[in-house]
Amino acid sequence: DFGIVHRDLKSPNILIDQENNPVIIDLGFGKAINQPRPQSTHLLSMKYSKSMKLTDGAKGTALWSPPEMTRDCAWSDKTDIYSLGIVIWEIFSRTLPFSHLDELSIESLQDLVQNGERPTIDETWDPGFVALIRACWDHDPIKRPSSRDLV
């Protein structure tokens, strides 16, 4: 919880250092939260009033983007939590999300995610990790765990 939302968290943006610690790179889409903002930034009025959402264009890579970013271009501290759930799923599945869907357009993928579609979970995986993945990619950002919950 460093007051930054990455907004493009995905496996290609996570490196492993010499001590096997993850290092998140490419903060090109990153935004500070709880900081003063320019007057031109438009605050969205959404039911998620407890989490900050800002309009700043659709950012991120579609395979890892949460529904609220593809729908409303909204982001919050819970945006990266969704993406983390996809990354954890990748670690267990050892494949890219939605790779079984050949030649899927970005718009079609966004529609699938909007309609609640998520990568297939193998029920033989550890139940604790399955619950974590499902919690992270909950359709409702408010229901996703916070970064503090995950530590």
Please tell me the distance from the alpha carbon of residue 45 to that of residue 50, in angstroms, as a whole number.
11
Query: Whole-prediction pTM value?
Result: 0.74
Mean pLDDT of 50-65: 52
Q: Give the DSSP letter of residue 75.
A: -
pLDDT tens column, 76-106: 889 899 999 999 999 999 998 888 777 778 8
Domain boundaries, the chain: 4-150
Task: Say what the pLDDT of residue 124 is.
Answer: 96
4-150 is classed CATH 1.10.510.10: yes
Task: Say what the pLDDT of residue 54 is.
Answer: 34
Strands 22-24 and 14-16: antiparallel
Q: Where are the beta strands (DSSP E) in the chain?
A: 4-5, 14-16, 22-24, 31-32
Please tell me the distance from the alpha carbon of residue 75 to that of residue 55, in angstroms, as a whole number.
7
- Residue whose token pair is 């009025």: 45
Please tell me the distance from the alpha carbon of residue 68 to that of residue 129, in angstroms, as a whole number.
23
Mean pLDDT of 115-136: 96
- The one catalytic residue in 8, 77, 80, 138 is 8
The pair of structure tokens assigned to 54 is 């800002």
CB–CB of 108/96 below 8 Å?
Answer: no
| Average pLDDT of the chain to the nearest whole number | 77
Please tell me the distance from the alpha carbon of residue 146 to that of residue 136, in angstroms, as a whole number.
9
pLDDT band at 24 (very low <50, low <70, confident <90, very high): confident
% of the chain beyond a pLDDT of 70: 75
Task: Say what the pLDDT of residue 27 is.
Answer: 64
- Specify whether 17 is catalytic: no
Task: Say what the pLDDT of residue 48 is.
Answer: 29
Mean pLDDT of 39-66: 45
